[in-house]
Amino acid sequence: MANSHSTEAQGHNPDTDGSLPPEGSELEAHLQSKHMVINMGPSHPATHGTVRLKVELDGETIVKIDPEIGFLHRGFQKSCENVTWTQCLPYTDRLNYLSAMMNNFGFLNAVEKLIGLEIPERAQYIRVIGSELHRLTDHLTCVGATGLEMGGFAPFLYGMEARELIQDRVTELTGARLTTTFGRVGGINRDLPEGWADKVLRTLARTEDLLLEMDGLLTGNRIFVDRTKGTGVITAEDAIDYGWTGPALRACGVDHDLRKVQPYWVYDRLDFEVAVGEHGDNYDRYLVRMEEMRQSIRIIRQALETIPAGPIIVDDWRIALPPKPEVYGTIEGVMAHFKLVMEGIQVPPGEIYDATEASNGELGWYLVSDGRGRPYKCHVRAPGFPVLAAVPHIIEGKMLADLIPTFDTINMIGGEVEQ
């Protein structure tokens, strides 16, 4: 293939065709025209997470691309199937290190449905607030990194400033910066700290300012627009066929958001809009993420305004740990505590598929319980997995430079994809 190509390329060389050098002249440049295979990754600055892209190039055009994943694979399923339900929580955090709470709460939502448990209203509100805070950090990182890799460092810094502020609030809430392990089956770990809501409101105001700055620096920027508009295009039909969800699908013009179509927790009481794009290109995916951040800020404000008082975890000692005075003071408390820690929550046998809308799309869980304290089967449908699977389809035949913005805006998260 390479040889036949090289003779053909000599005849159409734009550098030499105009000046008409004699046939076989020493002046005629022999341009390299063999196909070249290059490896991007496993740790390339533009591949978020460890993914190796085997790219076959003809000049600058991508002929074939084969994403090879699995460098981070750490046996998420097998690990979960060998610990109790509660002990799975730290593993779920580590699926997406930028939105740990969403993965955490998504898993818990599935487990609670499997048990048939309704969690207290206040816990539902706090889950919404935590999820939306983490949606902000996730999108800020994605958009900031996109700007950075298109050559703009300032938007990245603004994004990081906003993300750090939000992560400070997350730290105050959960005690951890990235891997929060904040949820519990039946509710959440602890209540909102004193004065936290006011701090969040101040952080959101600052985040809005920073979003405006990023918007001003990127949305009309000539370089950014030229590199993202019309690149990485996928039609809505193809995106659906590949199983895309979340911002990447909405950028194709499909109005689909699980928070709206099958509301969980208290999303149906909150007023927000679903951001929808039009063209399915990198620019629209960027715009959808920007709009989603504004909507998240709206959601958090409303939730903080209307959050009711009350318990934050169910009062059932078969599911939630008893209060400490009961553990230290009564035999029933000790026994419940001991059984929960040693044996885990006794989830009734059965199976379930349940999904929530994480920052990158549908985060689905297929869980099987055999009635003992451990998950028998714990399958996660990571939103990034089908999105990454479609990258060869949308990038083959395009330029190598288009790969970078495409890879940025689909926001593949290694931890989820590689489980």
Partner 1 sequence: MDRVSAHFPEAVVERYVDRAGGAWAVIHADSLPKVAAFLKNDAELEFKLFGSMDGVDRLHLAENDPRFEVIYILYSLKRREHVRFKVRVSEHKLVVPSLVPVFRGANWWERLTFDFYGIRFDGHPDLRRILLYEEFQGHPLRKDYALRDRQPLIPERPIKDIFRGPGTSGHS
Interacting residues with partner 1 (CB under 8 A) = 69-70, 73, 75, 77-78, 82, 113-114, 116, 238, 240-245, 254, 256, 261-262, 348, 350-355, 362, 364, 366, 368, 370, 376-377, 379, 381, 385-386, 388-390, 393, 418-419
Burial class, 225, CB count within 10 angstroms (exposed 0-12 / middle 13-18 / buried 19+):
middle
In whole angstroms, the minimum distance from the beta carbon of 234 to partner 1 comes to 11
Q: Indicate the residue among 180 and 359 with the shorter CB distance to partner 1.
A: 359
DSSP 123: H
Q: Indicate the residue among 244 and 272 with the shorter CB distance to partner 1.
A: 244
Q: Helix count (H) and strand count (E) of the chain?
A: 19, 8
Q: Indicate the residue among 86 and 419 with the shorter CB distance to partner 1.
A: 419
Give me the residue label for tokens 């298109």.
Answer: 150
In whole angstroms, the minimum distance from the beta carbon of 199 to partner 1 comes to 37
Residue 134 backbone dihedrals phi, psi, to 5 degrees = -75, -25
In whole angstroms, the minimum distance from the beta carbon of 418 to partner 1 comes to 6
Q: Indicate the residue among 144 and 415 with the shorter CB distance to partner 1.
A: 415
Burial class, 263, CB count within 10 angstroms (exposed 0-12 / middle 13-18 / buried 19+):
middle
In whole angstroms, the minimum distance from the beta carbon of 370 to partner 1 comes to 6
Q: Indicate the residue among 160 and 368 with the shorter CB distance to partner 1.
A: 368
Q: How far apart, in whole angstroms, are the C-alpha atoms of residue 411 and residue 148?
A: 14
In whole angstroms, the minimum distance from the beta carbon of 306 to partner 1 comes to 26
Nearest to 320 by CA among 124, 187, 217, 148: 187
- The bridge status of strand 61-68 relative to strand 52-58 is antiparallel
In whole angstroms, the minimum distance from the beta carbon of 381 to partner 1 comes to 4
Q: How far apart, in whole angstroms, are the C-alpha atoms of residue 65 and residue 68?
A: 10
Residue 124 backbone dihedrals phi, psi, to 5 degrees = -65, -40
In whole angstroms, the minimum distance from the beta carbon of 413 to partner 1 comes to 15
Q: Indicate the residue among 97 and 366 with the shorter CB distance to partner 1.
A: 366
Q: Indicate the residue among 244 and 317 with the shorter CB distance to partner 1.
A: 244
DSSP 295-340: HHHHHHHHHHHHPPPS-SB---TTTSPPPHHHHHH-HHHHHHHHHH
